[in-house]
């Protein structure tokens, strides 16, 4: 009887049993993580569609936008993606199913009720999100096929690891196999591990002329090639990283009566997030946070373009909405297909104590007054880079000493924990409420600390940007040193009565009704 039947076959049988039990548990865990991410994305898409319906109303332009939005979703990553808007009577206002082979009836889906639902159709499983707002209901459905595909791919890698370990066990049972096979394999394994830990260019001895010797020589050649390529890429990425970091403001600065602190943490060497703050003519302080899809060098280059366009247009534009409308025109021309951007832009008017802002599909900013009253500054425009000729829409809120504005990208609230759950906006709002008049930079650091602790050993999956702007004189509770700094800078002024009402702004002066919040034009 050969060694194949004496050792390999029994060990393989044992490994199959262990592998089967492990894969069953891993399948359930990874599937839940994938569905959690899919639910978060469908919820965000429903919010985008609601914002667009408020902006366009029931018009042909909304139908065009809906088809463009549906087409912008990558078909390979989002098979069978479908979206629809229904009115109070349950009639379909507009729908799109650009990548769907068998579109489902939105009326039947909305009958499921608000929330997340799983539905089988044509032998395929769908995750359905039904969201209601302003008397209208949005239905977003997507196949879970991509989730299952990623789970299968991960399980295949895990099974391959077990099989490799089994091969090592077979070699350990025989001295001859250990000398002729196991030792060279161990040297190669150590070299691969060093390669995995970043020691590119590592080489191993290859004294034999057999297959293992040939493999060792080929590994050495591959290692040298990888080292050369990695060094070239490192120099390029380092240059891109320095350029992008140079575009960001200091972590903490004060412009007039506005103290700003912020951090931008790309998920890789470079990212698609950017934030900035600038002095503008007319005693204004502008704040900007933009999130472009993608995490590569192209996205980083577009952040530089976005920053330049916004500040150039802000010097002459009548309002933040007009600035983002002009930015949208440029992004529609320059962004690659199936890419888009969300943006929050506004300015503090130091003469009128008002903050004017425009939110293009961005997560709602948190505005907190000194009285403790806070509310969200939600979208006033659809996301950018999909449909040209958008009208600028904006809103305004009065501010006073102690008012704080927190703006962030979805990489913050969609941070995934070890169990696959999301950090979410509730934790962020609670942290802002409990920290009180903490220095902005300290609050930013506190937020990032909690997010890192929540994420644990997981890697950062998306670019993360958070910015806090504090308006008005620095509070006396920050100590004698801050009092002296405030006095030296001439920031002492009478306390103003905080005012939390939201004032709508628009180009053209016409009013709309039926929307409880910042009026969108």
| Residue 267 Cα distances to 93, 279, 411, angstroms | 39, 29, 9
**What's the pLDDT at 207?**
64
| Residue 324 Cα distances to 179, 293, 314, 402, angstroms | 69, 17, 9, 28
Q: How far apart are CA 70 and CA 98, in angstroms?
A: 6
**What's the pLDDT at 9?**
62
**What's the pLDDT at 394?**
94
Q: How far apart are CA 243 and CA 345, in angstroms?
A: 22
**What's the pLDDT at 381?**
93
The residue count of the chain comes to: 521
Helix axes of 145-172 and 9-56: crossing angle, nearest 10 degrees:
160
Q: What SS3 state is found at 129?
A: strand
**What's the pLDDT at 486?**
43
Q: How far apart are CA 228 and CA 222, in angstroms?
A: 10
Q: What is the pLDDT along the chain (521 residues), one digit of tens a residue?
A: 443 454 456 666 776 677 667 767 777 887 788 888 888 888 888 888 888 888 888 788 888 888 888 877 766 656 778 888 888 877 888 888 877 777 888 888 888 888 888 888 777 888 888 988 878 889 888 888 777 777 777 777 776 765 665 555 544 445 555 556 666 777 777 887 887 777 777 887 776 667 777 888 887 888 888 888 877 777 766 766 677 677 788 889 998 889 999 998 888 777 788 899 999 999 999 999 999 886 666 767 788 889 999 999 999 899 999 999 999 999 998 887 778 899 999 999 999 999 999 999 999 999 998 888 888 999 999 999 888 888 889 999 999 998 999 999 988 888 888 887 888 777 777 777 776 677 888 989 988 988 888 888 888 778 889 999 999 854 433 444 444 444 444 433 333 333 233 333 333 332 332 323 333 33
The closest of 317, 515, 497 to 398, measured between CA atoms, is 497
Chain Cα centroid distance, residue 371: 32
User: In three state form, how does the secondary structure of 402-464 look?
Assistant: CEEEEEECHHHHCCECCCCCECHHHHHHHHHHHHCCCCHHHHHHHHHHHHHHHHCCCCCCCCE
Looking at residue 381, what DSSP letter applies?
A: B
User: Tokens 């050792």 correspond to what residue?
Assistant: 7
Residue 173 burial class via C-beta count within 10 angstroms: exposed 0-12, middle 13-18, buried 19 and up = middle
* Domains of the chain as residue ranges with CATH: 3-147 (3.30.450.20), 251-506 (3.60.40.10)
């Amino acid at each position: 009887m050969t060694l194949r039947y004496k050792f390999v076959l029994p060990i393989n049988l044992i490994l199959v049993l262990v592998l089967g039990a492990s894969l069953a548990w891993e399948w359930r865990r990874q599937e839940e993580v994938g569905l959690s991410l899919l639910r978060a994305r469908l919820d965000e898409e429903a919010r985008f569609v609601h914002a667009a319906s408020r902006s366009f109303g029931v018009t042909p332009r909304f139908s065009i936008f809906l088809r463009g939005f549906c087409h912008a979703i990558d078909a390979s990553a989002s098979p069978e993606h479908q979206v629809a808007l229904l009115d109070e009577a349950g009639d379909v206002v507009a729908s799109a199913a650009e990548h769907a082979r068998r579109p489902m009836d939105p009326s039947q889906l909305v009958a499921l009720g608000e929330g997340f639902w799983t539905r089988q159709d044509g032998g395929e499983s769908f995750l359905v999100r039904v969201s209601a707002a302003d008397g209208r209901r949005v239905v977003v459905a997507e196949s879970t096929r991509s989730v299952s595909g990623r789970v299968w791919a991960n399980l295949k890698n895990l099974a391959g690891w077990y099989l490799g370990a089994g091969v090592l066990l077979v070699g350990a049972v025989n001295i001859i196999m250990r000398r002729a096979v196991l030792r060279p394999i161990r040297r190669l394994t150590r070299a691969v591990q060093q390669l995995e830990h970043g020691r590119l260019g590592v080489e191993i001895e290859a004294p034999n002329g057999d297959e293992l010797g040939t493999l060792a020589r080929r590994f050495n050649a591959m290692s040298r090639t990888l080292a050369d390529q990695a060094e070239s890429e490192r120099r390029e990425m380092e240059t891109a990283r320095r350029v992008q970091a140079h575009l960001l403001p200091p972590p903490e600065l004060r412009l007039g009566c506005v103290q700003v602190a912020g951090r931008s943490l790309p998920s890789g060497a470079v990212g698609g997030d950017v934030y900035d703050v600038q002095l503008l003519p007319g005693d204004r302080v502008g704040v900007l946070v933009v999130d472009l899809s993608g995490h590569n060098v192209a996205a980083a280059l577009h952040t530089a373009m976005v920053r330049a366009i916004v500040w150039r247009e802000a010097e002459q534009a009548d309002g933040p909405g007009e600035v983002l409308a002009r930015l949208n025109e440029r992004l529609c021309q320059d962004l690659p297909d199936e890419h888009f951007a969300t943006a929050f832009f506004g300015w503090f008017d130091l003469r009128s104590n008002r903050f004017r802002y425009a939110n293009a599909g961005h997560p709602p900013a948190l505005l907190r007054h000194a009285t403790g009253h806070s509310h969200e500054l939600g979208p006033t425009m659809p996301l950018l880079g999909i449909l040209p000729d958008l009208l600028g829409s904006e809103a305004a809120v009065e501010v006073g000493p102690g008012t704080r504005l927190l703006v962030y990208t979805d990489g913050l609230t969609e941070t995934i924990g070890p169990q696959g759950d999301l950090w979410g906006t509730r934790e962020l709002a609670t942290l802002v409420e409990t920290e009180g008049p903490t220095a902005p930079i300290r609050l930013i650091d506190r937020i990032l600390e909690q997010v890192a602790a929540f994420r644990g050993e997981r890697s950062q999956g998306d670019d993360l940007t958070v910015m806090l702007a504090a308006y008005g004189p620095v509070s006396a509770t920050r100590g004698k040193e801050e009092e002296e700094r405030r006095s030296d800078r001439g920031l002492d002024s009478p306390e103003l009565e905080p005012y939390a009402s939201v004032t709508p702004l628009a180009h053209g002066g016409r009013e709309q009704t039926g929307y409880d919040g910042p009026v969108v034009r």
